[in-house]
């Protein structure tokens, strides 16, 4: 109950922040002449849309209160996308630069403000996404930020007036794996690592689902009677009272015991003890949702499906899955290595080869 209450409070705070962002957006639209550098508005509306959709989905998972792997994965996935949406909204709201003829105020992602004069500028890096250096401080300006060019033009104008006509010096990175030839090299390397992380997370999930222990503590318990059954290839569907969610046993011939004794009991008169978790139906089935059975016994103590047998055969396809993941990972690693080789010396390779790895405008 306390978690539901906390979730409700968090939801109200999220809605309040969403409304506040919309008011800020409206204020910025009205004050078109105000000198503010901020991220593009599409980022805000994308963040709001993603956050609202996954907040609603997360609410369904939380308040449904079911146990099982699918519910846990659903909560985790919705929380991740909700967080990404919130990060987009916060970045749009906080990452701004207010400037005038005397200086500028930079605000970080976490809302911390720093005030600078144009005399504080010591250099810059980047053409698309630009980093402005003020001593030890680095100010990031997105390539698509509103009023970016106007601000940088004014900053360069003020810098030249202060430094006798000299322009803001270009500062090369101390270490650049692309030797300074590729724009936004840090972001590109981050994207490479994100893909590797995604592949690793997917592989870890496959291993987790293949070897996780299923027992009474992490499944839902039901007492029900079955009024009918259906065999669909290697799946056995068990139907309780009309309108209730059906139960399914995957690969039932390999896992179940005393199957012939089970079928006559599906007459609505025998009580069964079932441990299961909600599961999406297989692509071969027309059932929208179902409960995946992990343990099944009747009121007389006969066990038709044990946890041990239900967990068997889960690693049968693991060698094939490992092979597929290995091929995908090696292919991506080869792409990354080749892009680094080409990016370090793009003039050595033809335009067509360079464009295989980098979009126009990213090479200089």
DSSP annotation of 177: T
How confident is the model over 39-84, as pLDDT tens digits?
A: 989 999 999 999 999 998 888 887 776 666 667 778 888 889 999 9
pLDDT (tens digit per residue) in 213-239: 888 888 889 999 999 999 988 899 999
Q: E strands within 69-219?
A: 96-99, 103-107, 113-117, 123-125, 130-134, 137-141
- Detail the DSSP E strand segments found in the chain: 36-38, 96-99, 103-107, 113-117, 123-125, 130-134, 137-141, 220-224, 228-232, 235-239, 247-250, 272-280, 289-298, 303-305
In DSSP terms, which residues pair with 140 in a beta bridge?
131
Q: What is the C-alpha R_g of the chain?
A: 29
Torsion of CA 83, 84, 87, 89, to 10 degrees: -100
Q: Which residues contact 125 (CB under 8 A, 6 or more apart)?
A: 131, 133, 170, 171, 172, 173
Chain-centroid distance, C-alpha 85: 9
135: left (phi over 0), alpha (psi -120 to 50) or beta: left
What tens digit of pLDDT does each residue of 141-199 get?
A: 988 888 899 999 999 999 999 988 888 988 877 777 888 788 778 788 889 999 999 99
Distance in angstroms (rounded) separating the CA atoms of residues 18 and 94: 13
Beta bridge partners of 274: 222, 296
């Amino acid at each position: 109950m306390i978690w539901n209450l906390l979730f409700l409070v968090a939801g109200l705070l999220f809605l309040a922040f969403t409304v506040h962002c919309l008011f800020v957006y409206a204020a910025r639209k009205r004050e078109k002449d105000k000198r503010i550098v901020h991220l593009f508005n599409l980022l805000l509306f994308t963040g709001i849309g993603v956050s609202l959709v996954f907040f609603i989905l997360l609410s369904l998972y939380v308040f449904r209160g079911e146990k099982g792997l699918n519910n846990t994965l659903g909560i985790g996935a919705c929380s991740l996308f909700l967080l990404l949406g919130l990060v987009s909204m916060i970045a749009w709201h906080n990452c701004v630069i207010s400037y005038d003829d005397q200086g500028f105020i930079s605000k970080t992602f976490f809302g911390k403000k720093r005030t600078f004069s144009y005399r504080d500028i010591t250099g810059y890096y980047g053409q698309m996404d630009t980093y402005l250096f003020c001593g030890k401080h680095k100010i990031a300006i997105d390539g698509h930020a509103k009023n970016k060019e106007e601000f940088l033009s004014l900053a360069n104008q003020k810098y030249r007036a202060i430094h006798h006509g000299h322009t803001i010096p270009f500062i090369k990175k101390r270490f650049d794996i692309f030797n300074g030839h590729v724009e936004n090299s840090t972001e590109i390397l981050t994207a490479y690592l994100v893909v590797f992380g995604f592949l690793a997370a997917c592989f870890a999930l496959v291993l987790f689902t293949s070897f996780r222990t299923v027992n009474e503590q992490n499944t839902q318990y039901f007492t029900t009677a079955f009024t009918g059954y259906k065999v669909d290839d290697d799946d056995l569907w068990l139907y309780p009272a009309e309108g209730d969610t059906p139960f399914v046993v995957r690969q039932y011939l390999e896992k179940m015991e005393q199957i012939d004794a089970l079928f006559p009991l599906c007459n609505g008169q025998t009580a069964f003890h079932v441990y299961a978790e909600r599961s999406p139906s297989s692509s071969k089935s027309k059932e929208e949702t179902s409960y995946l059975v992990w343990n099944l016994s009747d009121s007389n103590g006969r066990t038709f499906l044990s946890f041990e047998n239900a967990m068997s055969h889960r690693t049968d396809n693991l060698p094939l899955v490992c092979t597929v993941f290995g091929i995908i990972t090696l292919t991506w690693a080869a792409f990354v290595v080749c892009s680094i080789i080409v990016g370090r010396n793009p003039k050595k390779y033809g335009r067509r080869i360079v464009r295989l790895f980098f979009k126009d405008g990213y090479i200089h």
